[in-house]
Amino acid sequence: MTPITSSSSSSSSSSSSSFSSTPSSLSQRAISAVLSNQNGDSATTAAIFKLAFESGEQDALNDTIRSIVERTGSFPVVEQVKTLLLDQGIELVQRSDGTVQMRGKPKATMTHYPAAQRHEGLKEILSAFLPEETVSLIIAYEGEQIAFTPENRDAIRRGIESGDIVLKERIIRSGIQQGKEAFLNELFQEIRDKSSEPHYKLDLSGVDLSGLSLIGIDFHDANLTGANLALTDLTRTRLDYTKLTGANLANAKLPTSENHRLVILENANLAGANMIQCNLRYMVLKSANLTGADLTGARGVSVLSGANLTGAKLINSNLRGSPLLGANLTAANLANADLTSVKLSGANLTGANLTNAELFLADLTDTNLTDADLTGARGVRLTDTTIVTRTKLPAEYATPHV
């Protein structure tokens, strides 16, 4: 039977404090890094369970199991794992929700290392029963910054592939801080190349990269659903076929036309975003929050139905043919905008500035133009359901039809 004993060096300084009370704690993220990469290896799973039990980290272990169950639906502990643990004096019982309870007295006692020896101590303990590459992954994570060296390449790639969101964040932030954008892009491409998924082959969903300059980063064919990209600089970031559904891009700087094709921004938060001169043709912005965003000079047909554009700047924008059904454009600035053939049915343009805008063939059915300013606008064609309370209309416009 495969042994899962731990070892310690006689030269190492021990401490009575547990891992959970020092910076050398076996964190939930470190456990996740192992469980997400052990590929069903019973010995590795048993080893990390034993390590968590001996170091008083059962809560961290169970938190990790819960997150795995949320992602995959289950986390069955196979009988081989239970047998390996029992052989080491640990009885494991798995609850109905997937979490575990361990009892007993391990045959080997784990040495606890003080903070000053956190890396060497943790490495020594793990090396007794984990593959070298997995140990490197955990040690890299537990450090202040991950070293982007050829020796760490495989461990870093596995970290990006893992289900550990915080580990992914640490890797990307470390890479950017060290000027290793090209290194990151190479690893991203390796992951895409071996993925069996038809779309969104690079899973970065939920990561927090807020405040970073992401210039030069290649996120094409990536899933960034729910990611936090607030205050990021994406002006020269590749976003071809990238999914950003529900992502936070508040006050971010978005790329122009040459850097993206088909970006899914449905339900995304783009409040205060800089989208000057953006080509909206390749963006799906349905139900997105664009409150206060600057779209001056933006162009191209985009799905903006249900979007919140309260206070947005759309001066000189070209939105020809774009669906804006039910969109909220309260107090938006659409001066000199080209809204030819735009579908504005049910949209709210209360207090909007539409001076000198072009509205030829625009659908204004059930559109709310209360307090809006259409002075100098051309092609305005009101319907019997258009709300024009206190609206400043152009001197000449098409007669309302019934």
| 274 three-state secondary structure | strand
Q: What is the largest CA-CA distance in the chain?
A: 94
Higher pLDDT, 108 or 197: 197
Mean pLDDT in residue range 123-130: 54
Least confident of 45-49, 114-118, 371-375: 114-118
- Burial of residue 23 (CB within 10 Å: 0-12, 13-18, 19+) is exposed
| Burial letters 93-117, b for 16+ CB under 10 A, else e | eeeeebbbebeeebebebbbbeeeb
Question: If residue 191 lies in a helix (H) or strand (E), which one and from where to where?
Answer: helix 181-194
**For residue 217, is pLDDT > 70?**
yes
d(CA 394, CA 342): 19
Least confident of 35-49, 76-90, 184-198, 298-312: 35-49
pLDDT for res 35: 60
pLDDT for res 108: 54
Residue type present at position 265: L
Residues 131-180 have pLDDT tens digits of 565 566 555 555 556 778 887 888 888 888 877 787 788 889 989 989 99
Domain boundaries defined on the chain: 19-133
Closest to 51 (Cα-Cα) out of 4, 114, 92, 91: 4
Across the chain, mean pLDDT equals 81
Residue with tokens 């779209």: 295
**For residue 259, is pLDDT > 70?**
no
Grade residue 38 by pLDDT with cuts at 50, 70 and 90: very low
What's the pTM value of the predicted model, to 2 decimals? 0.67
pLDDT for res 143: 53
Question: If residue 31 lies in a helix (H) or strand (E), which one and from where to where?
Answer: helix 28-35
pLDDT for res 78: 79
d(CA 167, CA 175): 12
Rg, the chain, Cα only: 28
Residue with tokens 């034993």: 50
**For residue 5, is pLDDT > 70?**
no
pLDDT for res 133: 59
Mean pLDDT in residue range 89-104: 89
